[in-house]
Amino acid sequence: MRLCLIEPNLVRKIFQFFRAGYSYIEMHLIWTIKRNCEKFKCNSCMSPEVTATPVGSRDVTGLPMGKLKMSFTIIVHRLKCHNCGAYRMEKLDFLPNQKSHFTKSVACCAIDLRNEMTIKAVSEHLDLHWNTVKDIEKIYLKKKYSRIDLSEITAIGIDEVYIGRKGFLTVVRDLTKGAVLFIGNGKSGDSLAPFAKRLKSSACQISTVAVDMG
């Protein structure tokens, strides 16, 4: 394995960070990365007048290259803002959320691959847990369906779908076109609350509601 071939541009894609080192163990490349000092900004007021103190590290899975697994050890800092006085952890913009243990690129790739592959195959390819791939997909679908225009909808069907140990999902469909309009967690009335709110604000005229069609 010639590391020099895969090194260029790899970590530079993670904007504002530089490579502080790497280790390579059995087809697994781990980059240690750290934000450039001059790139720190306060999360609250965006002032660059901050003092950054390293407080630990985070391990995050990146996209594999062929059979080579890739991950990052990120040196994380706590920021003290001299402008507004805020005292917060630095924000890692390349993660889907601040608790994620994989990058946004990994989440996007998982979504794309799910068109062609099973959850199991995607989780093995991206070195993620089965539940993680499932959760990535769920978040993506929720966002996607929250943008659907409901103003022309006149008939909806509501299904409760059993998804194993995690319980139920409530799926709302447009009965005219068959399109999925909403997916909620669980099967109680509460799971439909976000959808009900959207219906109200869309001013649609629903005349038919079919429940539990199996």
Contact between 11 and Zn ion by CB under 5 A: the answer reads no
Can residue 86 be called a binding residue for Zn ion (CB under 5 A)?
A: yes
**80 or 104: whose CB is closer to Zn ion?**
80
45 in contact with Zn ion (CB under 5 A): yes
The residue within the footprint of Zn ion, chosen from 29, 60, 70, 81 (CB under 5 A), is 81
Number of residues that bind Zn ion (CB under 5 A): 8
Shortest CB 16 distance to Zn ion, Å: 18
Buried b or exposed e, range 115-126, using 16+ CB within 10 angstroms? eeeebeebbeeb
Q: Which of 83, 98, 146, 188 binds Zn ion (CB under 5 A)?
A: 83
| Vertex 165 angle, CA 160 and 168, to 5° | 15
Position 44 contacts Zn ion (CB under 5 A): yes
Nearer to Zn ion by C-beta: 88 or 198? 88
Q: Does residue 42 touch Zn ion according to CB under 5 A?
A: yes
Least Cα distance to 196 among 138, 134, 153, 137 occurs for 153
Query: Which residues of this protein are in contact with Zn ion, per CB under 5 A?
Result: 42, 44-45, 47, 81, 83-84, 86
